[in-house]
Structure 1
Amino acid sequence: MGSNLSAAASTNVRTLREHPPSSYSLKIHNFSQFEKSTTSSDHKYKSRIFSSGGYNWRLIIYPQGNGKDNGSGYISMYVEIESESLMVLTPPTEVFAEIRFFVYNKKENKYLTIQGLRQIIPCDTFSNPENGYIFEGGQCEFGVDVIVSLPLTNWEILSYTEKFSDSKFSSAIKNFSELKENVQISKSFSMGGNKWFLKLYPKGDNRADGKCLSIFLCLADCDKPKADEKIFVQANFRVLDPRGSNHFQRQFNYWHNEKTLGGGWVQFLSLPELRKVYLDKEDALKVEIAFEAVSATKYSPTI
């Protein structure tokens, strides 16, 4: 298909559809005579040039099959790119295109759509008027869609950091029982290439009714995702047991984006249990987050 350019077709897939071919159609009024006429042109017929995807093409039909390509006994169909028409520019070495061939079936009033090449339809099946491909005294129709794939310009690469030099960050809240401020903000810290901070509501945020500790992991403003960006975090939130290893822990899986910079729990731990078990002798509460994964995305420029 083409001298120094190529177009690839998918493996043989057959379907019926009502919509006609969009790239090129060849209607023949006397298939028997058409078949005879190709004996003087290497048993094939080349259509006029048609354009698709910025390139010029020809539809090629072997009414008795292309014996050189294991197509004997079948209608064979190909497309050929006209590389000469591209010499005004620097021609590519390959052109990638999705190619669909069409054969009209009058009986079904639909187009048999084939993704394949050498063996489209057995000649006996095609030539039998009862099957609907030959109709009204020898008429038939072939066609093709050539959908050229443009160079890749839109992409993204998603990766995950799973190993950290120090995967944990902890923060201590002193004089917990005497706190008057409703929100506590930790110092910022870096993890997975981003800056974060913890936000705690010692008496619960407005949705907790003063019964539970609320806790959230938030992105710093300097690392706020742009539109349609997102960052995934997998971690463990813990309230540490000052007297042993019975830490209160919850698994955290969350996608941060430009509209939701923070994720966590409105009702993380009940305040009665917290006061009973998790305050040390100096009335301090220690919370910790242990990171397991942080995502990063590289992407092509958006329009």
Structure 2
Amino acid sequence: MKDSIELTSSVLPNHMHCCTCTCVPLSVRPMKGRIIPPCHCLFKIESFSTLSKASVENYTSEEFEAGGYQWTLSIYPTGNKKKDGQHHISAYLNLMVSSSSSFPVGWEVNAIVNLFVYDFLRDEYFSYQDASTRHFHMLQTEWGISKFVDLVSFNDHSNGFLIEDACVFGAEIFVIKPPSKREHLSMIHEPPLLSYRWKFDNFSKVNLEKYESELFPAGNYRWKLVFYPNGTIEGKGNSVSLFLTVDTSSLPSNTKLYAHCILRVKDQVKGQHAETKFYRHFSSSNPTWGSRTLVPLATFKDPTKGFLEANSCILETEIKVLGLVKPL
């Protein structure tokens, strides 16, 4: 046996936050094991028997980061007597408030926390896997389990927790943040179907990249069609492109329209129209949607296809505003 004890802690990368906690005896529940190590902190103790005989009540790891906060893991080798933990190993997670300036007045951190002990024989990390949310706040910055592992079971080598006087503990902290996105969808009962027809004349004389229809009303909003006779983006030079766009000045503040739309180029002879259908949110930041390759140019200009009659084409849209989306 070594005359000194060696305590090493390794902090692993973390991507989640931690929370408030208080001592909750969970040892009445069976532990469950897993192969994957805890993702935030591993804490190895060598010469555990020497630590348990030392005068220190507990040993605390170095600080580690989890979810933007600093934490420590404390191990009581003979139990936290103040919390009725005698004859057990006690384990506690501490939120280091003094190490961060990100705590506003009245702060609270909510998290799911798991504490682990390693089984060397089975190569698994055991915990109670309690999914309860822990609440950290100014008056409660610590959470733990006073009766984490009873010492009889811990010292029994057949359980694998203490091998050659060494043991490993760990922690995971999953902070529950407020939703980054809150939306309220208000569906419209029996929304009307609104349509618009645009006859585009003198197609052979087009000399602009795009053409816009006049504004037309659909519901309580104004819209227009945008037509690219020679296509745009991947449709440029090989297709006609057609888009529907909402006049953003007609939209209420912070409101999106959830709509079902049809864009159509009419076959004026056989009625075999070219069209695209879509469900889409229209908003001030995303007011336009459509098709860059609605009809191949060769097909569009083919006189047998009926899209161009007397040098004119007919562009149509149908719009049904199904609901309004606003932030909560």
- TM-score, scaled to structure 1: 0.54
Residue of structure 1 aligned with 2:163, choices 132, 135, 145: 135
In the alignment, is the contact (CA less than 8 A) between 1:184 and 1:199 conserved in 2? yes
Q: What percent identity do the matched residue pairs reach?
A: 17
Letter in 2 for 1:264: S
The answer to whether structure 1 residue 181 and structure 2 residue 210 are counterparts is: no
Letter in 1 for 2:314: L
Q: Cα offset for 1:170?
A: 0.4
**1:100: which partner in 2?**
114
The answer to whether structure 1 residue 268 and structure 2 residue 295 are counterparts is: yes
**Superimposed CA distance per residue, residues 188-245 of structure 1 (whole angstroms, 9 cap, x where no aligned partner):** 35668875421124x54374757x6532223557699xxxxx9875312245688999
Closer/same/farther in 2, CA of residues 273 and 118 from structure 1, 3 Å limit: farther
Letter in 1 for 2:205: K
Letter in 1 for 2:33: R
Letter in 2 for 1:267: L
State the secondary structure of the residue aligned to 1:237. Answer: strand
Taking the aligned partners of 2:61 and 2:203, their CA distance within structure 1 comes to 85
In the alignment, is the contact (CA less than 8 A) between 1:8 and 1:97 conserved in 2? no
State the secondary structure of the residue aligned to 1:152. Answer: coil
**2:316: which partner in 1?**
287
Closer/same/farther in 2, CA of residues 268 and 245 from structure 1, 3 Å limit: closer
Letter in 2 for 1:181: V
Q: Cα offset for 1:107?
A: 4.9
In the alignment, is the contact (CA less than 8 A) between 1:24 and 1:145 conserved in 2? no
**1:298: which partner in 2?**
327
The answer to whether structure 1 residue 14 and structure 2 residue 39 are counterparts is: no
Taking the aligned partners of 1:13 and 1:104, their CA distance within structure 2 comes to 11
In the alignment, is the contact (CA less than 8 A) between 2:260 and 2:279 conserved in 1? yes
Residue of structure 2 aligned with 1:155, choices 176, 181, 190: 181
Taking the aligned partners of 1:248 and 1:285, their CA distance within structure 2 comes to 11
Q: Cα offset for 1:285?
A: 2.8
- The aligned length equals 271
State the secondary structure of the residue aligned to 1:30. Answer: helix
Taking the aligned partners of 2:149 and 2:93, their CA distance within structure 1 comes to 17
In the alignment, is the contact (CA less than 8 A) between 2:78 and 2:90 conserved in 1? yes
Letter in 2 for 1:132: G
Letter in 1 for 2:199: I
Letter in 1 for 2:111: A
Taking the aligned partners of 1:154 and 1:148, their CA distance within structure 2 comes to 14
Closer/same/farther in 2, CA of residues 18 and 223 from structure 1, 3 Å limit: farther
Q: Cα offset for 1:181?
A: 2.6
- TM-score, scaled to structure 2: 0.51
Taking the aligned partners of 2:213 and 2:23, their CA distance within structure 1 comes to 58
